[in-house]
Amino acid sequence: MFNHPIAYLNTNDGSGILAFGEGEILVGHEDDDLKLIDEFIQSNQGKHIFSFLSYDLKNNFYDLTSSHPDHIQLPHFFFWAPKYVVNMKFEHLEFLQGDKNSESLEFISYFLEEETDQNFHHYPFNFKPRISKEVYLEKVKGLKEEIQKGNIYEVNFCQEFYAENVDIKYPFDTYFKLNQITKAPFSSFIQFKDWMIFCGSPERFMKKEGRKLVSQPIKGTIRRGKDEHEDFDLKHQLENDPKERSENTMIVDLTRNDLSKIAKKDTVQVDELCAIYTFETVHQMISSISCELDENVSFSEILKATFPMGSMTGAPKLRAMELIEQYEDFKRGLYSGSIGYIKPNGNFDFNVVIRSLLYNRSKRYLSCAVGGAITDLSDPEKEYEECLVKIGKIIDGMQ
């Protein structure tokens, strides 16, 4: 059973979807035609399909390359129609795919035991930054110069923290420990061959219901307070921060433009602008943009119009991605990509892979990347501090 993929998409509201067992798989590489994705979805109509998408799919949509070291080495894309799919709401199990039998119930029982067991293992992960703070500050200053020259309006600049010689012997335990820290609405776990993905994401990339598409970019972060009074003050500070509102609004405009490529005329709208949402470790500024999808638009065409998500690139998108390649020094891979699933009726829901641990078992390498939006108003020191706020509790809490 464990030789086959496993996926768990967890909304942290008492419900989640667990997928496991053998099934048809599509693994994509850099030069593969994305029509393979549409063909896979078509050939598996009537089934639930689980997927992850690498940030470097950008190279299939734009004249771009990725030449930085790739220590995780995940595929460009992964689609899987599993044998078993179970909707789990509190203690109620609903089999959406596959039969309730001894094989499936044995695995579910083991999974639920791991979920309820709070005696987490301690992990001596020794995370190191790939670049020093001094180098980070210089790179942010360089990006601000690009902005001041008019080459870019906003760019999402990321750095990697990593640990080597890591052995993760208890994958579910590791995921549930991370989830206890983040308790995020787009949390997920995937195990596939030599890879494990532990994701504590608060951000939705794209949801489709019928002909309606919804994207909910996050731009704007501040830490949680030590008490209720400080927490309220920090939320108010974030809500009224001109720098944070500016960067959020720019990504809203970019997302509106992306959706307009595949939307029915005059259906793109901003449903919520710069709203403040509270999560376990941070407050975030989130906007919601929606549209009515034009007729006969395929899944790969939706990706071509909207991926990578603007919150992880910047604006204009193409120039931002060029500068990301120039200034960053690690290959993002699945980080700032997406994990999600497609329902039998064609509806889907995909997250943004942030606040995550990516693990390559054969290389014993663990990655935790983090970033933020750089604008003309950015203070390099504060940008660095924001990175530590976003992943500090993850790195410290996994010890």
Instruction: Provide φ and ψ at 363, rounded to 5°.
Output: -90, -10
**314-315 and 154-163 as β-strands: parallel, antiparallel, unpaired?**
antiparallel
Residue 302: how many other CB atoms lie within 10 Å? 20
User: Is 203 tagged catalytic?
Assistant: yes
User: Is 160 tagged catalytic?
Assistant: no
* Residues found in the chain: 399
Distance (Å, whole) CA 4 – CA 351: 23
Residues 162/366, Cβ–Cβ less than 8 Å: yes
CA distances from 123 to 165, 170, 351 (A): 12, 10, 27
Residues 23/195, Cβ–Cβ less than 8 Å: no
Task: Say which residue the tokens 């979805």 belong to.
Answer: 41
Helices (H), the chain: 35-43, 58-61, 102-116, 133-148, 171-182, 228-239, 242-260, 299-306, 317-327, 380-397
CA distances from 165 to 60, 168, 364 (A): 33, 10, 5
Partnered with residue 204 across adjacent β-strands are 216, 351
Single out the catalytic residue among 47, 139, 208, 219: 219
First CA to last CA distance, the chain: 29
Single out the catalytic residue among 146, 154, 203, 386: 203
| Residues assigned a catalytic role | 203, 219
